[in-house]
Amino acid sequence: MAAPIGNIKDRLFERATAIFAAIVLGLTLLLFALLLRESLPALKKFGFSFVTGTTWDPVAETFGALPFIYGTLVTSVIALLIAVPLSVGAAVFINEFAPPWLKGPVAFLAELLAAIPSVIYGLWGVFVLVPLLRDHFMKPVTKLFGWVPLFKGPVYGPSMLAAGVLLAIMVVPFILSVSREVMATVPQRQKEAVLSLGGTQWEMIRIVIGQHCIPGIFGATILGLGRAIGETMAVTMLIGNRPDILFSIFQPGYSMAAVIANEFTEATGDLYMSALVAVGLVLFLITFAVNIAARLILKQLLARASRGI
Amino acid sequence: MENMNNDVLKISGLSAWFGSNQVLRNIAMNIGRNTVTSIMGPSGCGKSTFIRCINRMHDLTPGFRLSGSLVYEGTDIYGERVDPVALRRKIGMVFQQPNPFPRMSIFENVAVGLKLNGMKMPKSELAGRVEKSLRMAALWNEAKDHLSRPGTSLSGGQQQRLCIARALAVEPGILLMDEPCSALDPVSTGKIEELIEDLGEKYTIVVVTHNMQQAARISDFVAFFLMGDLIELDRSAKIFTNPSDKRTEEYITGRFG
């Protein structure tokens, strides 16, 4: 007798959860549709040259987003170049060398970095990181290697390098935790195989990572890239906000997220607003693609792990 | 033939603990040159722990400690000046589960030990050593035409022979085998057993097994372990026909284990 009521409750529950799922999916689609609709005027006017144009001049109503795409990519690449070796090294230490009593606290603190709001990172970056980099790294380096285009002066402080370094610190916890998980899946017998052949602990780690962890670390890197590309607040505070494409990483730049955050409130004209939304659309598409790539790589890796390879 | 000075490995008073749990008690045993010695006994008797003491495989296990003396060719294995890395080159090991490196070819799997510790040798010499090792492991005829395929493309039994070839390539003085057939089918097991018998002519082999028939087939000597004690060590024929200890007799007649 209770069965029909149970059935109805089950059905209601199922419907309700289906609606929630549909809302989440719908929000994503709606967001995309809105971005597309609002950016249409700018995209229509500039066409493909919107992403290849290098001039961003609100007064003349000429909008080319390449400087922002460039700034986003350069800062993200700097971040990964620093964060990947750092995270992988830390993961090796925590998993293989740290005494058990140190393992937990170090891993916990490293992963706590992910919980700090990005505006705090930005403040720290402005007051600590930028002066530090300017006086103790950028200035000496320009003095010695200023002839290298990558390190050309003048040095101001806020720069693509500063933003990249800060981003590196922000993505470390993500790359670190995925790398640790990947390393923990390596079968003990693989490690023992290297040791039994007369391998050192370093050789064991090198071979085991090469044999088992490269795809996983690559996936972790892409995940970190996704974070770095979308990061707004901290980058806006450090990158210098100058819409030019400059080769030297000591020079200021501008990122896609930063230009939207900075100029949204002062975008008076319809075309200006539409151009900013179009930048958002480009950012959305890039992060979307990066995240899908990361998922695919990790999925493949897990499938392989479950086949016992 | 087995003159008393011709012992490759001399073990005396070996006791071992994981934390407060004693797993080996006062083991004394000598291993003669070019003999096959089986370590036999029921699960949990300390067989694997025992042979992993010989190549210091427990070094990285937290909470493990041991006392007593293990001397390999005159060198105290746990001596203060002994480098475990150099020692393990002399004392090879084959594991329960075949464990070839998944992203290395058959050739690279055999050659990997020869490239450790920054060692380098001319390509032709390397190829020669790989071939020799694969021949010794009775895998050459099956593998010679596809040395560049991944090691994991081989069958389980072939993978285990690949691992034996990998261990032989660095020319160890002793080969330790920890239940090398436990993950294999009967046909592959037969091949590995044959291989162990052949290798025993030129190599000193210590093999852990919980399979009495296997111990009888392949070994010159058999050591019977029970609950961390070495009950009896004798020629294989003697152990299986006329054991000295009652517990050995009970085990081989199938009364427990």
Is B257 part of a structural domain of the chain?
Answer: no
Between CA A64 and CA A75 the distance in angstroms is: 19
**Structure-token pair, residue B254:** 């199938």
Average pLDDT over residues B19-40: 93
Least CA distance to B52: which residue of chain A?
Answer: A196
Contact A162, A125 (CB under 8 A): yes
CB contact under 8 A, A211 and B104: yes
Between CA B64 and CA B75 the distance in angstroms is: 22
Least CA distance to A201: which residue of chain B?
Answer: B85
- Average pLDDT of chain A is 90
CB contact under 8 A, A207 and B102: no
pLDDT confidence bin for A308, thresholds 50/70/90: very low
Between CA B55 and CA A262 the distance in angstroms is: 64
CB contact under 8 A, B116 and A193: no
Instruction: Examine the pLDDT at A300 and tell me if it is beyond 90.
Output: no
Q: Which of A197, A201, A309 to mutate to test the interface with B (most CBs of B within 10 A)?
A: A197
CB of B102 within 8 Å of a chain A CB? The answer is: yes
Average pLDDT over residues B117-137: 89
**Buried/exposed A50-89: b ≥16 CB within 10 Å, e otherwise:** bbebeebebeeeebbbbbbbbbbbbbbbbbbebbbebbbe
Instruction: Examine the pLDDT at A189 and tell me if it is beyond 50.
Output: yes
CB contact under 8 A, B55 and A100: no
Instruction: Examine the pLDDT at B3 and tell me if it is beyond 50.
Output: no
What's the pLDDT tens digit per position in B158-167? Answer: 999 999 999 9
Between CA B224 and CA B234 the distance in angstroms is: 9
CB contact under 8 A, B57 and A195: yes
Contact B193, B174 (CB under 8 A): no
What's the pLDDT tens digit per position in B75-97? Answer: 999 998 999 999 999 999 999 99
CB contact under 8 A, A196 and B103: no
Q: Please give the tally of structural domains in chain B.
A: 1
Between CA B226 and CA B141 the distance in angstroms is: 41
CA distance B107 to chain A (A): 15
CB contact under 8 A, A200 and B112: no
What pLDDT is stored for residue A111 in this prediction?
82
Least CA distance to A204: which residue of chain B?
Answer: B116
What's the pLDDT tens digit per position in A248-287? Answer: 999 999 999 999 999 998 888 899 999 999 999 999 999 9
CB contact under 8 A, B88 and A197: yes
Please give the class, per CATH, of domain A45-306: mainly alpha
Closest Cβ–Cβ partner in B116, B163, B170 for A203: B116
What pLDDT is stored for residue A68 in this prediction?
96
A–B CB contacts, 8 A cutoff, strictly below: 70
Spell out which residues of chain A touch residue B85, defining contact as CB-CB under 8 Å. Answer: 198-200
**Structure-token pair, residue B222:** 């058999």
What pLDDT is stored for residue A296 in this prediction?
85
CB contact under 8 A, B170 and A198: yes
Q: What is the CA radius of gyration of chain A?
A: 24
Contact A137, A163 (CB under 8 A): no
CB of B105 within 8 Å of a chain A CB? The answer is: no
What pLDDT is stored for residue A307 in this prediction?
52
Closest Cβ–Cβ partner in B95, B102, B112 for A192: B95
Is B1 part of a structural domain of the chain?
Answer: no
Is B165 part of a structural domain of the chain?
Answer: yes
pLDDT confidence bin for B252, thresholds 50/70/90: confident
Chain A residues with CB within 8 Å of chain B CB = 100, 187, 189-190, 192-201, 203, 207, 210-212, 309
DSSP A110: H
Closest Cβ–Cβ partner in A189, A197, A201 for B112: A197
Closest Cβ–Cβ partner in B92, B96, B103 for A196: B92
Is B15 part of a structural domain of the chain?
Answer: yes
pLDDT confidence bin for B1, thresholds 50/70/90: very low
Host domain of residue B61: 7-252
Residue A201 dihedral angles phi and psi, to the nearest 5°: -65, -35
Instruction: Examine the pLDDT at B227 and tell me if it is beyond 70.
Output: yes
Average pLDDT over residues B37-50: 91
CB contact under 8 A, B113 and A309: no
Between CA B62 and CA B19 the distance in angstroms is: 8
What pLDDT is stored for residue B111 in this prediction?
93
CATH number at residue B13: 3.40.50.300
DSSP string, B64-129: EEEEEEEEETTEETT-TT--HHHHHHHEEEE-SS----TTSBHHHHHHGGGGGGG----HHHHHHH
- CA-wise closest residue to A92 among A207, A197, A221: A207
What's the pLDDT tens digit per position in A44-63? Answer: 999 999 999 999 999 899 99
- Average pLDDT of chain B is 90
What pLDDT is stored for residue B257 in this prediction?
54
Between CA B150 and CA A102 the distance in angstroms is: 38
pLDDT confidence bin for A291, thresholds 50/70/90: confident
What's the pLDDT tens digit per position in A96-155? Answer: 888 889 988 988 888 888 899 999 999 999 999 999 999 999 999 999 998 898 898 788
Q: Model's pTM, two decimal places?
A: 0.81
Contact B162, B151 (CB under 8 A): yes
What pLDDT is stored for residue A309 in this prediction?
45
Neighbours of B1 (CB within 10 A): 7
What pLDDT is stored for residue B256 in this prediction?
66
